């Protein structure tokens, strides 16, 4: 999956589960496996753009890295973590809304967010593109726990493609309206568990920015 685009959310989650299962199989410990995944993704993001672009099969690279970290820890069992290397990131919502917005602004935000949500729920990419501003951006946060794109996606066409690929038509997934930081947003769930929370910024009658949280540490309260 290219860092400037997006594979499906199912692919990203399946990749993470695949790596987690390898680490759990080698250690029999979910805590140690999570540590291994965190270190694996840290090494991925430590690569520069050219190095990541030169990796033809990222999943293969990540699998080999998980294996090498596991082997190194098994060779030195005292370094296998018995507690989290750091506390989980606090649950935070998406960008903070301006203080004291008027009722009219909130109502407009709600109408536009609902148009965006309806396009996502119906899988209508044309409607999705129509609600996005020409210079719309998409920003995603995997928190080093999901291999989300590093850079924002720019432009209505690219943003619509990104959102459609990431959120629309995921097997067993359900997109629902939710209050995100006091405004209308979306939550995507699979098997009852939140896998993405989405907030939008609006101007006039268009969505100008889409903010997507994918970091599992920030999604606990949404389950």
Question: In the predicted model, is pLDDT for residue 129 greater than 90?
Answer: yes
What is the reported pLDDT for 77? Answer: 58
The whole-angstrom separation of Cα 216 and Cα 203 is: 30
Among candidate residues 79, 71, 88, 93, the one with its CA nearest the CA of residue 22: 71
Computed over every residue of the chain, the mean pLDDT equals 79
Number of neighbouring beta carbons within 10 Å of residue 33: 21
Residues 121-144 as b/e (b if ≥16 CB within 10 A, e otherwise) read beeebeebbebbbeebbbbbbbbb
pLDDT at 158: 92
- CB contact at 8 A, 73 and 80: yes
Write the burial class of residue 218 (CB in 10 Å: 0-12 exposed, 13-18 middle, 19+ buried).
buried
- 19-49 pLDDT, tens digit per residue, is 888 888 777 777 888 888 989 999 998 998 8
Predicted confidence band of residue 127 (pLDDT cuts 50, 70, 90): very high
In the predicted structure, residue 1 carries a pLDDT above the cut 60:
no
Strand partners, 179: 184
pLDDT of res. 80? 61
**Which of 1-5, 28-32, 129-133, 146-150 shows the highest mean pLDDT?**
129-133
For residues 142-152, average pLDDT:
73
- Going from N- to C-terminal start, the domains of the chain cover 9-79, 103-222
Measure the CA–CA gap between 20 and 211, rounded to whole angstroms: 26
- CA R_g for the chain: 19
Kindly state the tokens that stand for 112.
């536009």
Q: What does the pLDDT read at residue 8?
A: 66
Three-state secondary structure call for residue 193: strand
74-114 pLDDT, tens digit per residue, is: 666 566 655 444 444 444 464 444 444 467 878 888 999 99
CATH topology of domain 103-222: Nuclear Transport Factor 2; Chain: A, (3.10.450)
């Amino acid at each position: 999956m290219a860092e400037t685009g997006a594979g499906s959310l199912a692919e990203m989650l399946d990749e993470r589960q695949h790596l987690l299962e390898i680490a759990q199989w080698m250690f029999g410990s979910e805590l140690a496996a999570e540590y291994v995944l965190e270190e694996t993704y840290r090494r991925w993001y430590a690569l520069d753009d050219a190095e990541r672009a030169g990796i033809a099969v990222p999943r293969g690279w990540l699998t080999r890295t998980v294996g090498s970290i596991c082997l190194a820890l098994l060779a030195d069992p005292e370094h296998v973590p018995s507690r989290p290397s750091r506390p989980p990131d606090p649950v935070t919502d998406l960008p903070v809304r301006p203080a004291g917005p008027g009722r009219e602004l909130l109502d407009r935000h709600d109408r536009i967010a609902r148009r965006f949500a309806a396009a996502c729920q119906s899988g209508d990419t044309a409607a999705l593109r129509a609600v996005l501003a020409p210079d719309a951006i998409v920003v995603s946060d995997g928190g080093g726990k999901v291999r989300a794109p590093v850079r924002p996606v720019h432009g209505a066409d690219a943003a619509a493609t990104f959102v459609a690929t990431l959120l629309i038509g995921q097997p067993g997934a359900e997109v629902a309206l939710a209050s995100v930081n006091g405004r209308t947003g979306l939550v995507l769930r699979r098997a009852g568990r939140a896998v993405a929370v989405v907030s939008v910024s609006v101007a006039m009658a268009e969505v100008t920015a889409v903010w997507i949280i994918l970091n599992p540490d920030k999604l606990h309260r949404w389950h």
